[in-house]
Amino acid sequence: MESILLNEILSWTKSKLLLGRREDQIKSFSTDSRTISRNDFFIPIAGENYDGGDFIIETVKKGARGFVYDRHQKNIEEILKHVQADNPGIIIIKCDNTIEFLKEVAKGYLTKFKVTSVGITGSAGKTTTKNFVVSILKRTSDTVFSQKNFNNEIGISKTIFEVNNATKYLVVELGMRASGQIRDLAKICNLKYGIITGIGPSHLEYFKNIGEIALAKAEISESIYKNNGVLFLNGDDKYTNLIEENIKCDYEKCGSNFNYKYNFSNCRFDCNAIYDFDLNVFDKNILHINLNIPGYHNVHNSVLAAGLSLHIGCKPEIIRNTISETGPETLRMEIFEKDGKVILNDCYNANPLSVKSAIDSLAIISGRRKMRSIAVLGDMFELGAETEKLHEEIGSYLSEKNIDILIAFGKISISIFNKFENSKNNEIKRYYFEKKEDLLNKIGKIVKPGDAVLIKGSRANKMENIIDYI
């Protein structure tokens, strides 16, 4: 992070300086009292289970350069009295809201640099697509990108503070749980380019229907329009037409149709459901790409990343080589063998779109390897009034794909269990466990050598430890 004048911060945030000089400089920010370093400026954030404001005095004792507080801060008179007595050079700022303060500082800081910003959103595939884009751009120029699940206002703001004078690209993943959040995050990042990977029923408890989710994702287009940029859309997604009708920015569709500027053809897959394909610009073949990540959905994700990269001038051979070398993240479609079984570890998160994609891969792998297919599925959360219906759809989908055995886990997944009707030798092979400990006690007797096993559920289920019992 480059140093910021206190006067700049006050201008960006319209906040009030209580102690300090306007010519003072801040060289680093922190929102976490546990990892505060000497001379960090502390921005306390109130969460569901904690309040960063409770740790202001502690951060000052650790050597914080100063702190900001808002109108909700408890015991502020006592805090001010305590820190001013022993820290005469400390910086203290008062603002209306500390999260808004953080966002405005990040937005203002970014304007100090000539950086091209790229934002990636969608109901599934955001992180993988981001990894494709980042890996390509890093081979051409200095690139700053959001790490792990840093896809909200706090994580994205922290990412922006990593930008400096050498940075050419900023790549961020944009998450949401409500209408207006994508718009807000896109403004903070001053996006010029964007990708929407696809739309599905995730976070439905915050929306009336999937169409509302599509329109909320489409908010990314507003900053792109302002900056004369381009939005890249999954042309094969059924909600793309709705997005097209509601955006003003330029856009390119990517997918399996030769009418799309960036399209793919000649798809093939191996025994691990890993695809290779031809990448085309309209009807002209540009590259042949071999993925290193399983799943047909990752063909779409890689084409979106390649289309954006070609548009901004990256060399085709860099795109091809980089995509071919990019592997899965931890807990995301990791495929490995264990004691004669093939495990598909996709435990990071789950929504109906990603679960169906994972089932597709399980069906391919078990079919190619002539193995028995087992789906170990946990609850999917944040689906609102559609929860039962969407779980039932997964049960039906398992049957359509001829999955041999279902092991359902969790209170909600009883709906998957009830709709699974696949039968072999007139016997339906399905198991249901409400409690994880019961599943762990039984699963070792169900799964045998020669089985292909998918393990998937929402993050709160923490299903990765099931692997130890298989």
* Mean pLDDT, range 225-239, rounded to an integer: 98
* Mean pLDDT, range 151-159, rounded to an integer: 96
Of 4, 64, 70, the closest CA to residue 34 belongs to 64
**Of the residues 301, 325, 349, the one at which a domain ends:** 325
* Mean pLDDT, range 141-154, rounded to an integer: 93
Tally the residues of the chain. 470
**Of the residues 304, 325, 346, the one at which a domain ends:** 325
pLDDT for residue 149 is more than 90: no
pLDDT value at residue 422: 74
Same domain, 264 and 138: yes
Q: Which domain holds residue 97?
A: 4-101
pLDDT value at residue 423: 66
* Mean pLDDT, range 453-469, rounded to an integer: 93
pLDDT tens, residue by residue, 243-270: 999 999 999 999 999 999 999 999 999 9
Confirm if 443 and 466 have CB atoms less than 8 A apart: yes
Of 239, 210, 174, 211, the closest CA to residue 383 belongs to 210
Strand order in the sheet with 372-378: 334-338, 341-346, 451-456, 372-378, 405-409, 430-433
pLDDT tens, residue by residue, 341-371: 999 999 999 999 999 999 999 999 999 999 9
Same domain, 155 and 51: no
Q: What is the mean pLDDT of the chain?
A: 96
Distance (Å, whole) CA 23 – CA 7: 6
Q: CA quadruple 97, 102, 106, 109: dihedral positive or negative?
A: positive
pLDDT value at residue 259: 96
Same domain, 143 and 87: no
**Of the residues 259, 293, 325, the one at which a domain ends:** 325
pLDDT tens, residue by residue, 166-188: 999 999 999 998 999 999 999 99
Tell me the three-class secondary structure of 286-313, residue by residue.
EEEEEEEEECCHHHHHHHHHHHHHHHCC
pLDDT tens, residue by residue, 406-428: 999 999 999 999 999 876 666 77
CATH number at residue 351: 3.90.190.20
pTM of the full structure:
0.94
446 within domain boundaries: yes
Our CA dihedral for 132, 138, 141, 147, rounded to 10 degrees, sits at: 90
Task: Tell me the three state secondary structure of residue 160.
Answer: helix
CB atoms under 10 Å from CB of 359, counted, come to 22
pLDDT for residue 219 is more than 90: yes
Half-sphere exposure of 333 (CA within 13 A, CB side): 28
Of 163, 289, 305, the closest CA to residue 234 belongs to 305
pLDDT value at residue 331: 86
264 within domain boundaries: yes
Look up residue 384 and give its two tokens: 């609102």
Of 384, 437, 445, 444, the closest CA to residue 409 belongs to 437
pLDDT value at residue 124: 94
CATH number at residue 293: 3.40.1190.10
245 within domain boundaries: yes
Question: Above pLDDT 70, what percent of the chain?
Answer: 99
Same domain, 453 and 348: yes
pLDDT band at 465 (very low <50, low <70, confident <90, very high): very high
pLDDT value at residue 426: 64
Of 259, 199, 200, the closest CA to residue 380 belongs to 200
C-alpha to C-alpha distances, 182 to 223, 257, 313, nearest whole angstrom? 10, 28, 27
CATH number at residue 53: 3.40.1390.10
106 within domain boundaries: no
Same domain, 290 and 389: no
pLDDT value at residue 86: 82
pLDDT tens, residue by residue, 82-98: 898 888 889 999 999 99
